[in-house]
Amino acid sequence: MHAVAQRERLIEDLVRLRRGERTSPASDEIAAVRADLEEMTGPTVTRAMTARLLGVSQTALERWIATGDMPILVTPSGRSEAPLHAVLELIEAVREHRAAHPADRHPLGAVLRARRTDAERLNTAELLGSTDSQAGHRGGTSENGHRAAERRGLAYHRAVSQRLDEQIVRDARSRLARWRSQDRIDPRYARAWEEILAMTPTQIAQTIAADTPHMRDLRQSSPFAGSLSEPERRRVLAAVHQMTR
């Protein structure tokens, strides 16, 4: 129990760091510390701990998992758990909702329903162009499979470009720094992404949404992984499937 309590306290510290990172002039240094602490915490959180941190019963959490509003990952040991980054974002969102709507007895439900509404507002017509949607009907099986992955990556990043803000950029920088320190990304790709992430948000959005050979390569190792909510991610995949079938 002591280890569980320590991990919950570490997650609470991460939430505080995320808030401080947005307002501090030393945001880059805070982001580096946060990345280290996230690595220490681990990539996923058990369902029971997630429920406690969000202030709901595990039964309530399971309902949101069943509807696809809460993402779940399968760990190497075979357990299905919540991604840490999603848990941190939801804790922040729930607390902000509670502060704004203290009478609401179900803040998590309100937050997740709002995210579903946001996902429905994604402009799916802009995720793939006509050339992209027709490409799936040409070439051999291997070529189609490769291009299908490229189309999903393109659509995902175009959706991110519609949502891009300073927090998403900071998270991407932290993720990239962590990958570099762990040798989890080719140095050439890391340098290219560092150059992109040094741009203004508008320039970043335009760059990651480009359907060019260079960006197709870079999107295979993208620090924007996890930038969309689960409803947004599912809507993007459904849109790509609809456009290319």
Tell the residue number behind the tokens 């490769």, with chain if given.
Answer: 146
* Contact criterion met (CB below 8 Å) for 50 and 82: yes
Weakest mean pLDDT among 127-131, 135-139, 147-151, 230-234: 135-139
**Domains of the chain by residue range:** 2-120, 124-244
**pLDDT single digits (tens) 175-212:** 898 898 889 999 999 999 999 999 999 999 999 999 99
pLDDT in the model for residue 170: 86
**pLDDT single digits (tens) 119-133:** 999 988 888 865 454
pLDDT in the model for residue 5: 92
pLDDT in the model for residue 133: 45
pLDDT in the model for residue 136: 45
Q: Is the dihedral of CA 13, 19, 20, 22 positive or negative?
A: positive
**pLDDT single digits (tens) 93-118:** 999 999 999 999 999 999 999 999 99
**Architecture of the CATH domain 2-120:** Orthogonal Bundle (1.10)
Quick one: tokens of 87?
């848990």
pLDDT in the model for residue 128: 80
* Contact criterion met (CB below 8 Å) for 108 and 94: yes
User: Going by C-beta distance under 8 Å and a sequence separation of 6 or more, which residues neighbour residue 116?
Assistant: 69, 231
Q: How far apart are CA 115 and CA 242, in angstroms?
A: 22
Alpha helices in the chain (DSSP H): 2-23, 27-41, 47-54, 58-66, 84-100, 107-120, 130-135, 141-163, 166-181, 187-197, 201-208, 213-218, 230-244
